[in-house]
């Protein structure tokens, strides 16, 4: 996480645990390995981290490298947000921002896609206003900030994390067509 500057760009310290994130036996995150947008276009199917009984967690997926690692002027892009997850049963949490896959623009190089897991102090009321629910489109996903979100919801530091890197592949034009098809008119 330090080699790829996740620390200090996104979080202040390396979390105690590694979140296990996989799409299949052959496609999984491994602290900075490269995956393709084609491989990660759907939500991961296997997600786990050391969890406490009766605890609730928040899972965040962001790309801090938009439009590129050298020019991060768009800030963090929110790719997925699930709150009130009992243990590590993500499918039982409340989806607050639907999953969107990786879509680095052609020529933008490698982007980091970072999964952060926070232990909630209790049940979280779904955010409203500027942070209200985000469907699977591009609206209100740019200039998101994991540190700010964690601070506003008293989440503290992440208890687990993992990440992969990805760059443009032939799936990306399809990704943008699908993503913008759901944008409000």
Q: How many angstroms separate the CA atoms of 168 and 151, rounded?
A: 33
- CB neighbourhood size of 107 (10 A): 9
Query: pTM above 0.85?
Result: yes
Domain locations in the chain as residue ranges: 6-181
> Which pLDDT tens digits describe the chain residue by residue (185 residues)?
999 999 999 999 999 999 999 999 999 999 999 999 999 999 999 999 999 989 999 999 999 999 999 999 988 999 999 999 999 999 999 999 999 999 999 999 999 999 999 999 999 988 777 667 777 767 778 889 999 999 999 999 999 999 999 999 999 999 888 888 867 76
CATH number of 6-181: 3.90.280.10
Contact 60, 26 (CB under 8 A): no
- CB neighbourhood size of 153 (10 A): 17
Residues with Cβ within 8 Å of 79's Cβ and at least 6 positions away in sequence, in order, are 61, 62, 63, 97, 99, 100, 101, 102, 113, 141
Q: How many angstroms separate the CA atoms of 116 and 159, rounded?
A: 8
């Amino acid at each position: 996480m330090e080699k790829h500057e996740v620390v200090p760009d996104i979080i202040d310290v390396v979390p105690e645990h590694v979140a296990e994130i996989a799409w299949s036996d052959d496609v999984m995150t491994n602290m900075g390995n490269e995956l393709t947008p084609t491989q990660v276009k759907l939500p991961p199917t296997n997600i786990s981290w050391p969890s406490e009984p009766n605890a609730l967690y928040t899972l965040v997926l962001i790309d801090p490298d938009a439009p590129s690692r050298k020019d991060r002027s768009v800030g963090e892009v929110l790719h997925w947000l699930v709150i009130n997850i009992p243990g590590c049963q993500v499918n039982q949490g409340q989806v607050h921002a639907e999953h969107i896959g990786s879509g680095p623009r052609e020529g933008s190089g490698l982007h980091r896609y970072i999964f952060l897991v926070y232990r909630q102090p209790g049940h979280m009321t779904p955010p409203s206003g500027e942070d209200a629910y985000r469907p699977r489109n591009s609206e209100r996903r740019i200039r998101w900030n994991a540190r700010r979100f964690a601070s506003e919801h008293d989440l503290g530091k992440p208890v687990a994390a993992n990440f992969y890197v990805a760059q443009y592949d032939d799936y990306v034009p399809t990704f943008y067509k699908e993503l913008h098809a759901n944008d409000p008119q």
